Amino acid sequence: MTIEPVVVLGGLAVLVAVLWRQGVFGSSSGGIRTEHRSIPRDGTQRTDLHLRMGAGVLSLQGGAAGLVDADFVSNQPELEPEFVYRTNDGICEVSITQPSGRLFMSAPHLRYEWHLRCADNIPATVDLESGAGTTDIDLSTVPVQQLRVRTGAGQGRAVILASKLEHFDLQTGAGRLDLEIRGSPSTPARGSIHGGVGALQIRIPRTTPTRIHVDKGIGGVNVRGFMQDGRNYTNYAPGATPALDIDIHVGVGEVTLDSAG
């Protein structure tokens, strides 16, 4: 394995690039390798995380020992990712990218997994794109400011700590998406969800004043803890201001809104 650090000096700016060469994960004949990477905290005040993955399994959680810890599991050497980060003025920008032109569809023999962890209690913005597969996001210990997710067909789950939330935007293809909001944003926040075909379930605390607008094609809307007014659903008294405002646009499938917990 070859590691090539690149450092750019200028004020407090530091650029570090880690490029993984052919052979990191072993052969494509079935040998499975796991590679670990970690970014030190170094007084970072915010993490900006950019992820680009094709088919596979992607998990993103809190609990990192460093700022960002990553384990990459694969039996496909041609899919080895590029891992790049730079720190400037207390903000660490992290980019993890599957090689361009190698975004394969899922195959029976493919083993390709990214297991990522962010540091607890350090604000983060996340921009994630993935293809077919499973996406599991649990940032219940990470104060997310902005979350943007684009996924293809498959199963998805997202848990968001809302204390510093400003905006989230989730787009999915065919499959199921479970979204859970924990806590309330300190200032009014907005969210949007765009889905194709499948099931969508949203759980929001009853103590978080929320308005949800649902624009959908075929399928029902199941509600617990919300009051309905046309296509709008609220869990607060009339005349109050929502802390969370969400727009949902789905094609075919069931939508479940739960604010009873």
**Tens digits of residue pLDDT in 47-104:** 999 999 988 899 999 999 999 999 999 988 888 899 999 999 999 999 999 987 554 5
What's the pLDDT at 55?
Answer: 82
Is residue 147 a part of any domain in this protein?
no
Is residue 209 a part of any domain in this protein?
yes
What's the pLDDT at 64?
Answer: 98
Is residue 139 a part of any domain in this protein?
no
* In a shared domain, residues 98 and 30: yes
What's the pLDDT at 4?
Answer: 39
Task: Determine the Cα angle at 20 with ends 128 and 136, to 5°.
Answer: 25
What's the pLDDT at 107?
Answer: 57
Domain that holds residue 204: 162-261
Is residue 104 a part of any domain in this protein?
yes
* In a shared domain, residues 48 and 104: yes
* In a shared domain, residues 42 and 122: yes
Q: Which two tokens stand for residue 254?
A: 């069931």
Length of the chain: 261
For the chain, what is the domain count? Answer: 2
CB burial readout 91-115, b (16+ within 10 A) else e: ebbbbbebeeeebbebeeebbbbbb
* In a shared domain, residues 5 and 115: yes
Is residue 225 a part of any domain in this protein?
yes
* In a shared domain, residues 124 and 232: no
Return the residue matching tokens 């605390």: 205
Q: Which two tokens stand for residue 252?
A: 């075919």
Please provide the DSSP assignment of 184-227 as one string: --SS-EEEEEEEEEEEEEEE--TTS-EEEEEEEEES-EEEES-E
What's the pLDDT at 233?
Answer: 97
* In a shared domain, residues 106 and 201: no
Q: Which of 181, 137, 180, 185 shows the shortest CA–CA distance to 165?
A: 185
**Euclidean distance between CA atoms 140 and 154, whole angstroms:** 22
Mean confidence (pLDDT) of the chain: 86
**Euclidean distance between CA atoms 175 and 170, whole angstroms:** 13
**Euclidean distance between CA atoms 172 and 195, whole angstroms:** 5
Tally Cβ neighbours within 10 Å of residue 22: 9
3-state SS class at 98: coil
* In a shared domain, residues 121 and 184: no
* In a shared domain, residues 172 and 72: no
What's the pLDDT at 103?
Answer: 47
Q: Which two tokens stand for residue 220?
A: 């029902």
Q: What is the CA radius of gyration of the chain?
A: 20
Q: Which two tokens stand for residue 244?
A: 């969370």
* In a shared domain, residues 5 and 123: yes
* In a shared domain, residues 61 and 120: yes
CA 195 → CA 61, 68, 169, 186, 250, distances in Å? 23, 29, 11, 28, 5
What's the pLDDT at 8?
Answer: 33
* In a shared domain, residues 8 and 109: yes
Tally Cβ neighbours within 10 Å of residue 48: 18
Is residue 144 a part of any domain in this protein?
no
* In a shared domain, residues 108 and 176: no
Is residue 151 a part of any domain in this protein?
no
Is residue 149 a part of any domain in this protein?
no
Low-confidence ranges of the chain (pLDDT < 50): 1-29, 103, 105
